[in-house]
Structure 1
Amino acid sequence: MKITPAQPEDVSKLLAFREEAAAWLSRLGTDQWQRPYPAENLLATVEAGTVFMLMDGDATAATITLTPQAEPGLWTEQELSEPSLFVNKLTVARTHAGQNLGRRLLDWAGGRGYRAGAKWIRLDAWTTNTALQMYYLRLGFEHVRTVIEGEAVNGGPRVSGWLCQRPTRPAEHGFVDGTPEPSTVVH
């Protein structure tokens, strides 16, 4: 399997991929990702070079967004002063579930962060999805805090405020990395 940067022509595929994940999450009893994600927001992140796709031949097996920018209102000024990369929208296709692709993509992200000079790989998870939170803890992430007050950018209540982090480090992920070398993270 090969990790490649997403391209603008991949946006419709990525949106369908997210809809598949939202339907699966709904069947699990969580309301995570039930609101459609705006195509223009996804296109902007693709054009910024922060969206990556894990390809299994012609099939998209998983996707991850890795950015030096944090979602506003989640991390403290002190935390934001530490060089970090932030994981968003990690999704594995149901056809590829059970292959540890999520763990391996997080290892890839941690290695990419390490090469970019980041101290931390950080993410925020759905506050009510305890199974997902436990997953990240099993993978060596440390819970930082849960942000429950405040409003999300779109005016709704904050729903993705369970914050965790783990140090970046070189790691064997087993993928062919078809991405350019990361830019240095500066804070």
Structure 2
Amino acid sequence: MKITLAVPEDLPKLLAFRQEAAGWLSKLGSDQWSRPYPADHLLATIESGTVFMLRDGDATVGTITLTPDPEEGLWTEQELSEPSFFINKLTVARTHAGQNLGGRLLDWAGDRAFRASAKWLRLDAWTTNEALQRYYLDQGFEYVRTVREGVAVNGGPRVSGWLAQRAARPADHGFVDEAPPPV
């Protein structure tokens, strides 16, 4: 499997991933991703070079967004003074669930952050999705705090404010990394 930068032509696949994940999460009792994500916001992140695709031959089986830019209002000034990368929109196709691809994508992200001289790999997760929070804790992240006040990037109320981090570190994720080197 290989990791590549997303291109604008990947937009329909990314929107489909999100819709598939929202349906699966709904069956588990979570309202995460139940609101449609604006396609223009997603296209802007693709064009900024922060969206990565996991490809298995001709199939796209996962995605992760990795950026040095934090979401507004989540992290303190002191925390932001530490070099960090932030992940979001981690998604694995249901056809490839149960293969630890999400964990390996997190390892890839931590390795990439490390190579860019970051100290931390940070994330915010859905505040009501305790299963997802446990997943990140099981992946070596440490809980920082939950932020409930403020407005999310898409203009709605903040619903993804459970913050966690782990040290950026080299990792043997097993993917062929075809993305340009981190800056």
- Interval containing the TM-score (normalised by the shorter chain): over 0.9
Q: Does 1:151 align with 2:151?
A: yes
CA deviations on 1:90-137 (whole Å, 9 max, x unpaired) are 000000000000000000000000000100000000000000001111
What secondary structure does 2:22 align onto?
Answer: helix
Q: Which residue is equivalent to 1:57?
A: 57
CA distance 1:119–1:92, shift in 2 (3 Å): same
Number of aligned residue pairs: 183
Provide closer, same or farther for how the CA distance between residues 89 and 153 of structure 1 changes in structure 2, counting only shifts above 3 A.
Answer: closer
For 2:63, the aligned partner's letter is: T
CA distance in 2, matches of 1:156, 1:171: 36
Question: Is 1:19 aligned with 2:19?
Answer: yes
Provide the C-alpha distance between the structure 2 equivalents of 1:133 and 1:3, rounded to a whole number of angstroms.
25
Distance 1:154 1:47 in 2: 17
The equivalent of 1:162 in structure 2 is: 162
Deviation at 1:157, TM superposition (A): 2.4
How far apart, CA to CA, are the structure 1 residues paired with 2:55 and 2:135?
23
CA RMSD in angstroms comes to 0.9
Which residue number in structure 1 is paired with residue 45 of structure 2? 45
Question: Alignment partner of 1:22: what SS?
Answer: helix
Question: Hey, which bits of structure 1, 4+ residues long, moved more than 4 A?
Answer: none
Name the structure 1 match of 2:113.
113
- Distance (Å, rounded) in 2 between the aligned partners of 1:179 and 1:152: 28
Task: Indicate the residue corresponding to 2:95 in structure 1.
Answer: 95
2:126 maps to 126
Query: 1:58 deviation in Å?
Result: 1.1
Unaligned runs of 5+ in 1: none
Deviation of residue 13 (structure 1)?
A: 1.3
Secondary structure, in 3 states, of the residue corresponding to 1:4? strand
TM-score, normalised to structure 2, is 0.97
- Give unmatched runs, 5+ long, in structure 2: none
Counterpart residue identity of residue 2, structure 2: K
Distance between the aligned counterparts of 1:46 and 1:107, measured in 2? Answer: 21
**Distance in 2 (alpha carbons) for counterparts of 1:153 and 1:84:** 19
Q: Counterpart of 1:135?
A: 135
CA distance in 2, matches of 1:17, 1:33: 11
Identity of matched residues, %? 77
Matched residue type, 1:3: I
Which is further off, 7-16 or 97-106? Answer: 7-16
